[in-house]
Amino acid sequence: MTTGRQIPYTLFTDPELARIGLTEKEAKARGVAYRLFKIPMQGVLRARTLSETRGFLKALVEVDGDIILGFTAFAVDAGEIMASVQTAMLAGLPYTALRDAIWAHPTLVEGLIALFSSMPSLSTNLDAQPVESSSARNR
């Protein structure tokens, strides 16, 4: 049974497409406000050492908190990168836990530091409502 659980999605193309949680389109359709973090794979050192700089990393984070609402990667080994974000989402960790982690260097998952250190943009959906995070519901 998958009700209420995150279902990961990976398309094994070149480069791979992987995602978990909400996409921008889904968030807008549901009226969910979010902060958008996005970087090109050129900003990930391991991608440069592999000469695999096509693609991007993108994450949606709640506006009034730090919980990750969704993640998409279009990159070499995107499914592997997504698995780290999925684990954080399952544990209810804030995005800052991934940003502040000490990852092996150079690795693709280390790109999460650059992603979550980038300047986020706010959703443009003016009718969007902040999502109540699981941490707020448990207070």
DSSP 4-62: TS---EEE-SSSEEEEEE--HHHHHHHTB-EEEEEEEGGG-HHHHHTT---SEEEEEEE
89 is catalytic: no
Query: Annotated catalytic residue: which of 25, 105, 137, 139?
Result: 105
Backbone angles phi, psi at 107, to 5 degrees: -135, 160
Tens of pLDDT, residue by residue over 7-26, are: 999 999 999 999 999 999 99
Which residues fall within 8 angstroms of residue 133, CB to CB, at 6 or more apart?
62, 65, 67, 92
pTM: 0.86
pLDDT in tens, 15-66: 999 999 999 999 999 999 999 999 999 999 999 999 999 999 999 999 999 9
Q: Would you kindly state where each structural domain of the chain is located, as residue ranges?
A: 9-119
**9-119 is a CATH 3.90.25.10 domain:** no
